[in-house]
Amino acid sequence: MKPALSFLEQPGRRVLAGGLLLLVAMLIGTASLMWLEFRRTELRDRQQLELLASVMEAHVSQIFNNGKLALDSVANNLQQESNTPAQLQAQFSHRIQGLPFLRSIAIVNPQGLVLASTNAADRGGKVDLQRLTTAPVQDERVVIGPWVSGRNLAQDARLAPVPAQLGFIPMVRLVQFSPTVSVLLVAQINPDALATYQQQLTDTTPPGT
């Protein structure tokens, strides 16, 4: 009789071999269940991240769309009504009360002089228009500019140091009164409004997502 067969014919060793086979089967089954659970968790986390990204994107789009609507409304008022800078500033201040994502709205002439603004620190100041947009501002199209360092529109971070995280996103719209007379409307989007909302969303997601 072969040694392997004689080993299995011994009762105690048959029990041991059966136990080992059962243990191996249990280990394989446990590993398979763990792998399936890992894949399910990974899929669930991916779906949650995709949903989170979609909600964040929708919120950002809503903010910039509302900013555009605000600038369009102000532009229409400027073209239809004749108001003093003080009256315009009062109207602007009232308008942005319901738009917490806007830090300020200002009227700037083509030379960069701030004619009116909801921010008193900007009134009469000078703005480097090239820092606000990378594309030309034409017709009635609202242009969204890059991140600009500084809190105020007329503040030049290149001349005075400001915290690295302090800045705004400009939205610029041309208002053409005649072929030779025009002004720019500039809205400052407060990035904190975006960051706060995104932080609230991430705080509600399960740990480890």
For 127-153, the pLDDT digits (tens) are 999 889 888 888 888 999 998 988 888
Going from N- to C-terminal start, the domains of the chain cover 3-44, 53-197
Q: pLDDT at position 110, please?
A: 92
pLDDT beyond 90 at 203: no
* Nearest alpha-carbon partner for 101 in 48, 168, 1, 2: 168
Classify residue 113 as exposed, middle or buried by CB count within 10 Å of its CB (0-12, 13-18, 19+). middle
More confident residue, 66 or 31: 66
CA–CA gap between residue 8 and residue 31 (Å, rounded): 28
Rg (CA), the chain: 32
Q: What is the model's pTM? A: 0.70
Is the domain spanning 53-197 CATH 3.30.450.20? The answer is yes
Percent of the chain with pLDDT over 90: 22
Q: Contacts for 204-209 with beta carbons within 8 Å, 24 or more apart? A: 205/48, 205/52, 206/48, 208/45, 209/45, 209/48, 209/49, 209/52
Q: pLDDT at position 20, please?
A: 77
Q: pLDDT at position 108, please?
A: 94
- Weakest mean pLDDT among 85-99, 119-133, 184-198: 85-99
- Weakest mean pLDDT among 26-30, 129-133, 172-176, 195-199: 195-199
* pLDDT band with cut points at 50, 70 and 90 for residue 114: very high
